[in-house]
Amino acid sequence: MPAPYTGRCACGSVTATIRGEPLAVRQCWCRQCQQAAAGGPTHNATFLVAEWEMSGELAAHRTPAASGNTLIQSFCPKCGTPVMAQSSARMQMASVRLGFLDEGHGLKPDTAIWVDDAPDWAVIDPAMEKFARQPPPPVPAPRQGEGD
């Protein structure tokens, strides 16, 4: 399903409408994601923050990353639904948790990252592109009809 995408947390306090298409849809096995996702990976669609409206109060947990940047994981303080993750180096984009998006979004990860941190029993789709650790950040493609 193409944009717009809509999302809501389990209790409905946080909602979003996203007008743009994702820059990337990835599965992440880093330790912070395993902590957020009950031992599995998180699944995330990276969107430009300028292309959405989000309403409701978010709580955030900040973790220093090895790169020196800060990982900011946001969630609903009332129901705990993970909403998104951001890097302090790239606050113009955010990786929205696929579970936050309403059913029928049709997005599916094509890349698995931080697979070095995945547990032995992890089953990772062989069709996915894999990165041992952090890949380069997604590059916003010029939108059709812009820039000319």
Residue 93 lies near Zn ion (rule: CB under 5 A): no
Query: SS3 of 111, please?
Result: strand
Among 18, 45, 48, 76, binds Zn ion (CB under 5 A): 76
Query: SS3 of 24, please?
Result: strand
Judged by beta carbon, residue 12 or residue 143, the one nearer Zn ion is 12
Judged by CB under 5 A, the chain residues 10 through 29 that form the site for Zn ion are 11, 13, 28
Which part of the chain contacts Zn ion (CB under 5 A), choosing from 3-11, 19-27, 90-98, 99-107?
A: 3-11
Rounded to the nearest 5°, which phi and psi values hold at 96?
Answer: -85, 130
Distance from C-alpha of 102 to C-alpha of 108, rounded to nearest angstrom: 13
Rounded to the nearest 5°, which phi and psi values hold at 127?
Answer: -75, -15
Query: SS3 of 23, please?
Result: coil
Among 16, 24, 25, 33, binds Zn ion (CB under 5 A): 33
Binding site for Zn ion (CB under 5 A): 9, 11, 13, 28, 30, 33, 76, 78-79
